[in-house]
Every structure is written in C-alpha cells, then in structure tokens.
Amino acid sequence: MIRRESDLLLACCDALIAAQTAAIAAESIGIGSCYIGDVMENIEIHREMFDLPRYVFPITMLCFGYFKESYLTQSPKPRFQQKFIHFQDKYQTITPDGFKEMYAHLENVEGRTYLKNAENFGQHNYLRKTGADFTKEMRRSVQVALKDWSK
C-alpha cells in the first residue's frame, strides 16, 4: 500500500473532527474536555505507552471530566473581537494596525515583560511558542512520523 502525505493530513483532519464532535457532545451533557496537543511530542514514548502501530500518529488526546464548582462561577477570559477571527466569503489579512487593536486589551498589563526582542504581546507569544523546547521536540517527532509514514 502506498501511503502519501495527503493521506496522513486527511486522517489528522478526520481525527480532529471526531474529537471536536465528542467535545461538543460531552459539553451538551455537562462534561468538560481538554485537548492535549503535546501528545505529538516524544512519539517513541507515546507509541510504546499506548501500544501504537507504526502508521498511527497521535494527533491529539482529549480528556473528559466534570468542572470544578469554582470554574463554573468564574468570569470568562477576554477574547479577541469577532472582527479579527471571523471572516465572510474570503480570508482577510490583518494589518499591523489591526494587530495592535486586536492585542490592545493584553498590552498594558502591569509588570508584563516581553521575551527577547518582542515589541508587543503578539510577538512575545510567537517567540515563546516557537523558541520553546516542546516546539523543537514536536517538530522532531512529527518528522519521525512523516518519515515512518512515507516508508
């Protein structure tokens, strides 16, 4: 059987659709969920831990449970305005001024410091994610999975 990269990407999409459907169904009956995306890291350990065959790639893990009472009463975290995350009929590129407006509610937090050369919260988050050890390990593990898949 010939395995192509497109088959892996399609399988990943299917798995994530199934996970999201399960999360929505659980929430409808009062059960919370939490995605564990770093299951892609350390692929060799997870293959052994879950007894995964060679061509199985753990794209996500989804945990379920009941909410703590304190969680149900706390205020929701601030979110980006809808105009920055919802586009109609076509993808919309956000301008530099748009990014400033988008992140304005996160910028002026007292005592906040930024990593390296970051000038704002968006750049700080990008550097925090792309420079982290887990990102390097995830990249390595994905390369192992892709190499195994294409053999």
CATH number of 32's domain: 3.40.109.10
Q: Count up the domains in the chain and report the number.
A: 1
More confident residue, 103 or 15: 15
The Cα–Cα gap between 61 and 63 comes to 7
User: Taking 70 as the threshold, does the pLDDT of residue 13 lie above it?
Assistant: yes
Helix axes 5-28, 133-150, angle to 10 degrees: 120
Q: Which domain holds residue 122?
A: 5-150
Condensed to tens digits (0 to 9), the pLDDT of residues 91-117 reads 999 998 998 888 887 776 666 777 777
Condensed to tens digits (0 to 9), the pLDDT of residues 38-73 reads 888 898 999 999 999 888 888 999 999 998 888 778
For residue 74, what is the DSSP state? Answer: S
